[in-house]
């Protein structure tokens, strides 16, 4: 996963305990004189490796003993009695992710420009991040300790990149031997312990599509509801991943996949009451088809993987329109600017924005930003870079530019190629607003 999902502490040296980064004023932590830089090493005699351990060991306990290593080197033993559910008011350092031991054919690292920032080559494979953020792991190198932790701490659900249940195919895709590729026992152990699994298939033309995909979906569906859903997303090839074993995705291939998976879904809906296996939005859009309706997705089990995002966006947009009908913007015509998006989503967004302009008088324009950094095959908005945006400068209109908030790091205004938003704003000569949908809706409603 790209670091946009979570900031990997690549350079962080593993030390004992977990470091406190903030203490809320007036909180229990402040009362105990805990400070940023202190490390909590043990809770009730149990070792703390990260904030998940802290959360787990303190959860539900009212009498606690914390072993704390003060930032000055002093060792404290802090006895605490707290009210039920009373929060410590502490924030902790990020989890330092564990690295994967695979060599996937389609790994994003192989798709990076050689001079990309080192952080973009970090291959995280961490069951903790899977639980916390929905990052996928292959489980192929999960240790016994990690497995025990998932079960003991109930780190459910887990998001697992299965790709294929055919072992030969899975081993080929992951670049590991068949023994390591075989995760059936590991999945079973998790499921038997009540851990739910959401599976993912990165679908590669001619490798794990067709009959292999049919078998994968069938095998996983046999475990429903312990395996809750399967997301099927297409291979993304940048101009740097030129591995000859990979075949690029085409609109015809997408249409064939839709045809095959729709047939499977009909059967699954009948037998399980859910479509269970969901295609990524990209497959529909590349095929030139409309994404399915709301009811297709149930509770959107894998929306973060781009499955149902377009449908959900359309719904949010419809809600915004209804709100504006009741309370129209005061000076809509003054809202004159350009919204940037990826080439894949541009037709959908253009249609919605054209409707908004017509109904309410806003003057917004949508511009598709071609991905020059990774190559034009990369069509999603979240991977656009500062260089790509600058190249689209001639197409900007109005008084400001809206950038999707997914195009910069979640905790810092920096884009994938290292461009800082304030520098980009200066180079564009226009105010830049990095907005998620909520921010966009507020901007329109308050205009
Ligand atoms: S699991 Fe595969 S795709 Fe993910 S980081 Fe490792 S090698 Fe890359």
- Cα-to-centroid distance, 195 and ligand 1 (Å): 22
CA of 95 to the centre of ligand 1 (A): 18
Rounded to whole angstroms, the Cα distance separating 286 from 254 reads 7
**C-beta 417 within 6 A of ligand 1:** no
Note the pLDDT of residue 3: 34
Beta carbon of 100 within 6 Å of any ligand 1 atom = yes
User: Ligand 1 centre from 122 Cα, in Å?
Assistant: 9
- Select from 6, 8, 104, 183 the residue to mutate for testing ligand 1; criterion: most ligand atoms less than 8 Å from CB: 104
Contact at 8 Å (CB) between 426 and 21? no
| Atom of ligand 1 lying closest to residue 101 CA | 6
- Average pLDDT of the segment spanning 179-197: 97
pLDDT per position as a tens digit, 255-294: 999 999 999 999 999 999 999 999 999 999 999 999 999 9
pLDDT band at residue 328 using 50, 70 and 90 as cut-offs = confident
Mean pLDDT score, 98-107? 92
Determine the atom of ligand 1 nearest the C-alpha atom of 137.
1
Q: How confident is the model at residue 7 (pLDDT cuts 50, 70, 90)?
A: very low
For residue 167, report the distance from its CA to the centre of ligand 1, in Å.
17
Q: Write down the mean pLDDT value for the chain.
A: 93
Rounded distance, CA 187 to CA 189, Å? 5
Ligand 1 atom closest to Cα of 124?
Answer: 5
Determine the pLDDT at residue 14. 58
Residue nearest to atom 5 of ligand 1 (CA): 123
Strands 18-23 and 39-43: antiparallel
Helical (H) or strand (E) element with 178: helix 178-181
The distance from CA 182 to its chain's CA centroid, rounded to whole angstroms, is 25
| pLDDT confidence of residue 431 | 96
Average confidence (pLDDT) over 120-145: 93
pTM exceeding the 0.95 threshold for the entire prediction: no
Can you tell me the mean pLDDT for 301-314?
Answer: 95
For residue 34, what are the β-bridge partners?
none
Name the residue of 105, 124, 125, 160 whose CB sits within 8 Å of the most ligand 1 atoms, as the mutation to test its pocket: 125
Ligand 1 center to residue 162 CA distance, Å?
Answer: 12
> What percentage of residues in the chain have a pLDDT greater than 70?
97
User: To test ligand 1's pocket by mutation, which of 5, 102, 139 has the most ligand atoms within 8 angstroms of CB?
Assistant: 102
Is any atom of ligand 1 closer than 6 Å to the C-beta of 183?
Answer: no
Residue with the smallest CA separation from ligand 1 atom 2 is 104
- Per the document, the length of the chain is 447
pLDDT digits (tens, 9 = 90+) for 50-70: 999 999 999 988 899 999 999
**Which of 305 and 5 is assigned the larger pLDDT?**
305
CB 102 less than 6 A from any atom of ligand 1: yes
Report whether 201 contacts 216 (CB < 8 A): yes
Exposure of 317 by Cβ count < 10 A (0-12 exposed, 13-18 middle, 19+ buried)? buried
Q: What percent of the chain has pLDDT over 90?
A: 84
For residue 437, pLDDT over 50 is answered with yes
Q: What does the pLDDT read at residue 272?
A: 97
Ligand 1 centroid to residue 374 C-alpha, Å: 18
C-alpha 235 – ligand 1 centre gap (Å): 13
Q: Which residues contact 27 (CB under 8 A, 6 or more apart)?
A: 87, 88, 89, 90
Ligand 1 and 135: CB distance under 6 A? no
């Amino acid at each position: 996963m790209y670091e946009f999902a979570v900031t990997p502490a690549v350079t962080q040296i593993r030390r004992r305990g977990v470091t406190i980064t903030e203490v809320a004023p007036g909180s229990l932590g402040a009362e105990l004189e805990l400070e940023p830089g202190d490390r909590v090493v043990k809770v009730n005699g149990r070792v703390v490796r990260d904030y998940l351990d802290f959360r787990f060991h303190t959860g539900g306990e009212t009498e606690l003993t914390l072993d704390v290593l003060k930032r000055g080197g002093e060792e404290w033993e802090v006895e605490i009695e707290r009210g039920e559910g009373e929060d410590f008011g502490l924030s902790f350092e990020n989890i330092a992710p564990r690295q994967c031991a695979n060599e996937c054919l389609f790994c994003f690292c192989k798709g990076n420009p050689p001079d990309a920032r080192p952080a973009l080559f970090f291959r995280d494979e961490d069951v903790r991040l899977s639980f916390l953020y929905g990052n996928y792991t292959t489980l192929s190198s999960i240790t016994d300790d990690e497995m025990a932790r998932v079960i003991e701490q109930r780190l459910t659900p887990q998001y697992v990149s299965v790709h294929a249940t055919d072992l030969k195919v899975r081993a080929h895709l992951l670049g590991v031997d068949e023994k390591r590729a075989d995760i059936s026992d590991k999945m079973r152990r998790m499921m038997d312990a009540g851990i739910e699994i959401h599976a993912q298939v990165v679908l590669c033309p001619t490798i794990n599509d067709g009959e292999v995909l049919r078998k994968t979906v069938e095998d996983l569906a046999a475990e429903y509801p312990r395996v809750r859903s399967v997301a099927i997303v297409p291979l993304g090839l940048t101009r740097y991943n030129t591995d000859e074993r990979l075949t690029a995705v085409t609109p015809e291939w997408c249409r064939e996949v839709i045809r095959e998976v729709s047939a499977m879904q009909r059967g699954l809906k009948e037998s399980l009451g859910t479509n269970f296996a969901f295609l990524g939005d990209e497959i529909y859009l590349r095929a030139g088809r409309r994404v399915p309706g709301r009811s297709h997705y149930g509770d959107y089990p894998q929306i973060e993987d781009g499955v149902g995002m377009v449908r959900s966006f359309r719904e949010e947009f419809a809600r915004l329109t209804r709100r504006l009908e009741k309370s129209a913007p005061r000076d809509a015509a003054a809202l004159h600017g350009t919204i940037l998006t990826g080439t894949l989503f541009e037709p959908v967004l253009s249609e919605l924005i054209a409707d908004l302009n017509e109904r309410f008088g806003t003057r917004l324009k949508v511009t598709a930003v071609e991905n020059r950094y990774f190559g034009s095959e990369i069509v999603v908005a979240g991977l656009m870079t500062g260089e790509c945006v600058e190249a689209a400068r001639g197409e900007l209109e109005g008084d400001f530019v809206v950038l999707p908030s997914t195009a910069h790091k979640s905790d810092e205004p920096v884009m994938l190629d290292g461009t800082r938003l304030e520098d980009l704003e200066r180079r564009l000569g226009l105010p830049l607003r990095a907005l998620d949908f909520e921010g966009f809706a507020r901007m329109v409603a308050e205009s």
